[in-house]
Structure 1
Amino acid sequence: MYITKIEVTDKRFNLGNGAGSDAVNDSTQYAYAICELHTDSSVKGIGLAFTLGAGNDLVCKAIQYLSETLQGREIEELMSDFGSVYRSILDSPTYRWLGPHKGVMQLALAAIVNACFDLWAKSRQVPLWKLLLDLSPKELVATLDLNYLEDVLTIEEAENILRNNLTGRTLRNRVLQTGYKAYDTSVGWFNYSDEKIKENVARAIDRGFTAMKLKVGSNDPLRDIRRAKLVRAEAGDRTTIMLDANQKWNLPQAISICKELSTINPYWIEEPTHPDDVLAHQTLAKEIAPLKIAAGEHIPNKIIFKNFLEAGAMDFCQVDCVRVGGVSEFLTISLLAKKFNVPVVPHVGDMGQIHQHLVLFNHVAIGHENLFLEHIPHLAKYFKNPANISGGYYAVPAEAGNSSDLVTS
């Protein structure tokens, strides 16, 4: 199956009514920069990168530049040593200067890489999760680029993590019958009224969710504390509640406000300060313990994830395959996190479409804890096969590919 044409699409969706709002993002326009790999058959690979609208066109242009070398490649041959292909795209000298490995170029890489994995799974007529689980440790690691990680994760170590977790797969395969637990991230968007939050909490519980998230980071910390107490009162003590500040606070503010918010017993505080400040997260982790820190939504690459993990600056790794360099780098970071015994709970810029496959692989093949996966429903109607949530669980996808095909308008 040969790649004959590469098509790039700028797709944007207006949400409205406060959905998608947080402490630093007023925009309610979600957007995908989409890479489509057409072939000499009717099959095509779809890859997504996620943005908030403005600038999506820049990512689309970068996809065109970075994907040129894929023209004419056969998918099995391409993926047999994809780690090398990945690095050659990633480190193309003139484009590397624009990063390296972050920003517009990294988002473009995500779309391209995700399209390659989607095409590979479709060519074998299996869902992405099954494609990945069927690969041997050596075959899986051949799709990764571990450059710059050799001090903490060698190729041999990565293969050994996978090989050592072959034992116990039968037990962990149970997730393929039960589905993967979800948490509702849409009960408490930043601009929602108290009444709206109350309604959403009750609705989430009725739908089987036992975990949910509230946006914090108000200019007035008392508003955050009041809203957090409101959610706890409405949801009850048995419900798991997470708080997300979306990078709003400086370190002194984060220390002070997190200590106040700890009174509602949150499961984590997400993105409490600037995502590049590893040492601030390290300090904060020590200051607010046992309250835990989740981070990764805006961490752009494996190197900075390595720094966070080495520093003990994150308790939950929220790597997102539509923000780092796609499925390949997501799997690399998942192996890194396993090395440091940190759970992976992805941020879902893809609305959970691809990540529902990846958390299944992480649990079954890597041995990551079966926790839960974020659920955001706002774009479900635009997907041909939207993530199916029933009783608070993601159903295991059955269609071939990575679930990124969108409906045609």
Structure 2
Amino acid sequence: MRKILVIKRGLSSDMRFDLKNGAGSDAVHVNPVYAYAVCKLQTNSTLEGIGLAFTLGAGNRIVCDAIDYLVKHIEGREIHELMADFGSVYKKMADDPNFRWLGPHKGVVQLALAAVVNACYDLWAKVEEMPLWKLLTDLSPEALVNTLDFSYYEDILTRSEAMQLLQSQKETRLERELIVQTGYPGYDTSVGWFNYSDAQVLRNVQEAMEQGFTAMKLKVGSKNAERDIRRARIVREAAGDDATLMFDANQQWTLPQAIEICKQLKDLNPFWIEEPTHPDDVLAHVRLAEAVDVPLALGEHVPNKIIFKNFLQSGCMSFNQVDAVRVGGVSEFILISLLSKKMNVPVVPHVGDMGQIHQHLVLFNHISVGHPALLLEHIPHLRDYFKFPVTIVDGKYLTPQEPGMSADLLQHD
């Protein structure tokens, strides 16, 4: 008999974590504070749903205030009844008339929505006593699309198309399920934080390779481009020609700068160049892609499905870095992932959650949607704060087995 689980109350927590010795630094965030706006759903049992949105400092409190408002949409709801038509509830939250003027579908409101939505999926998986990846991969196409809001996607991806896409992947699903045993490949972002010295970057590259990583990322975007080129060469020489390298500019270049610097970085054979210019400027990315034949990875700062839709239609996006703790949570992530599959653009998420949630979502993407199992970003700095931290062995994410989405945090002072 199915357990009846009612959401009695939703509340937020403002959790912030200081980083040390240059960790987490990029061309914008020189001294970052990693922060989670946490949504906790209390129920008529001991089970709680935990959802995260990621921010970088004082703005976290504002997101928490928005969470405390949005949870009214789901308080009093039974979790199975809620998730059976979650797409409709999602739309009501995203279009709440008291908040829509502040967006729509971006900024503080969208981050708060992510935390609430993620908490719902976490609670759903926990009551079913499954890890989130298992819950999602076991759902029928109809049950899955019922959790999605196709508003403004009707012209590019209909509900029936999404169901057909999911159904079409079942024939080859068995071979993709092997990823559960082998582990999902990771790449190391922490080798090349912006404030690390050249010597530290070199040491980190060597340590990452010893840990089994064959893919790693360097932060670029310096005011002096020569620094970026020099450090990129250091990483390439240390890692070798066979290593997979990515360069992340964190939106620091104008289009003319991006064209010039990307031409130089191209000689180092990057797997991608990430966020080369302003994240909302679709046309600038199109012009860059036309000017320089180098793969572009985009999406860390793209806030919603509409801008992803525009990027995917434009043809300039080589890799889709949609992040479930920045867009409107797991529901919107899945919708964007489905469109990305239709447009033949692989999804390689940014991990504002430190990979805790996305280790589930990339398994779903590979098994159910048919995305290639390429890479998942690994950032280790907050692993000690999680109840069930990600496990990396020989550069691969081991498959999580605990019920939920691995978002439960330990008590933090």
Is this a same-fold pair by TM over 0.5?
yes
Give the Å deviation of 1:189. 0.3
The one-letter code of the counterpart of 1:314 is: M
Aligned partners of 2:185, 2:34: CA distance in 1, in Å? 24
Is 1:177 the equivalent of 2:187? no
Query: Equivalent of 1:354, from 354, 357, 360?
Result: 357
| CA drift at 1:7 | 1.8
- Pairing partner for 2:57 from 30, 53, 62: 53
- What is the Cα deviation at residue 313 of structure 1? 1.9
Q: Does the CA contact (< 8 Å) of 2:11 and 2:67 recur in 1? A: no
Matched, 1:154 2:158: yes
Written as runs of structure 1 = structure 2, the 5 A alignment for 1:7-406 is: 7-289=11-293, 291-406=294-409
Q: How far did 1:28 drift? A: 2.1
Contact 1:27 1:52 in 2 (8 A): no
Alpha-carbon distance in 2 for matches of 1:131, 1:27: 38
Equivalent AA in structure 2 for residue 304 of structure 1: I
Q: Deviations over 1:226-261 (max 9, x none)?
A: 000000000001100000000000100000000011
Deviation at residue 54 of structure 1 after TM alignment:
1.6
Distance in 1 separating the partners of 2:252 and 2:355? 24
Query: Quick check: 2:186–2:397 contact (8 Å CA) kept in 1?
Result: yes
SS for the counterpart of 1:165 is helix
Deviations 1:97-145 (A, max 9, x none): 1100000000000000000000000000000000001100000000000
Aligned partners of 1:205 and 1:265: how far apart in 2? 18
Distance 1:89 1:69 in 2: 7
CA distance in 1, matches of 2:171, 2:307: 31
Counterpart residue identity of residue 164, structure 2: N
Cα distance per residue 1:315-369 (max 9 Å; x no partner): 0000000000000000000001001000000000000000000000000000001
- Cα distance in 2 for partners of 1:125, 1:90 equals 28
Give the Cα–Cα distance (whole angstroms) in 2 for the partners of residues 183 and 294 of structure 1: 14
Q: How many residues align?
A: 408
Q: Please say if residues 187 and 214 of structure 2, whose CA atoms lie closer than 8 Å, have aligned partners that are also in contact.
A: yes
What secondary structure, in the 3-state scheme, does the structure 1 residue paired with 2:114 have?
helix
Q: Which runs of 4+ in 1 moved over 6 A?
A: none
> Distance in 2 between the 1:135 and 1:280 partners?
39
Quote the Cα distance in structure 2 between the aligned partners of 1:335 and 1:98: 27
Structure 2 residue ranges without an equivalent (≥5): none
Distance 1:69 1:267 in 2: 42
Percent identity between matched residues is 63
- Contact kept, 8 Å, 2:11 with 2:71, in 1: the verdict is no
Cα deviation, residue 408, structure 1: 1.6
Residue 408 of structure 1: aligned partner:
411
2-structure distance, mates of 1:248, 1:408: 36
Secondary structure of 1:100's partner? coil
Return the alpha-carbon distance in structure 1 between the equivalents of residues 106 and 20 of structure 2: 29
Q: Normalization by structure 1: what TM-score?
A: 0.99
Normalising by structure 2, we get a TM-score of: 0.98
8 Å contact from structure 1 (residues 302, 329) kept in 2:
yes
Q: Distance in 2 between matches of 1:42 and 1:123?
A: 10
